Amino acid sequence: MSYATDSIVSRIEWCRRQRVHAHADSELEEWRAEEEGLRDALLISKHANEYRHGQSGAFERYVMGLQDGEALIRIALRSPKK
């Protein structure tokens, strides 16, 4: 499970670095949404309602982050222990 956690944390940090280069408020919000989706996957939480009625791009990025994080966790749980 450590691999999944490390991977998700690395991707959260990558999203934060990408926010620095955002050229528009909408792009900034999309990076924040993806980061929150990843964090929610890690913490088994859901904040989808906060994005559902906002910009469609932000909601899609939230869902992408959440699904990617959940997939990393599922893979880690299925992997044989070393």
pLDDT in tens, the chain (82 residues): 687 889 999 999 999 999 999 999 999 999 999 999 999 999 988 888 887 877 779 999 999 999 999 999 998 888 776 5
* Residue written as token pair 């929150």: 36
Dihedral of the alpha carbons of 70, 26, 15, 47, in degrees to the nearest 10: -30
pTM (two decimals) = 0.86
Backbone angles phi, psi at 44, to 5 degrees: 50, 60
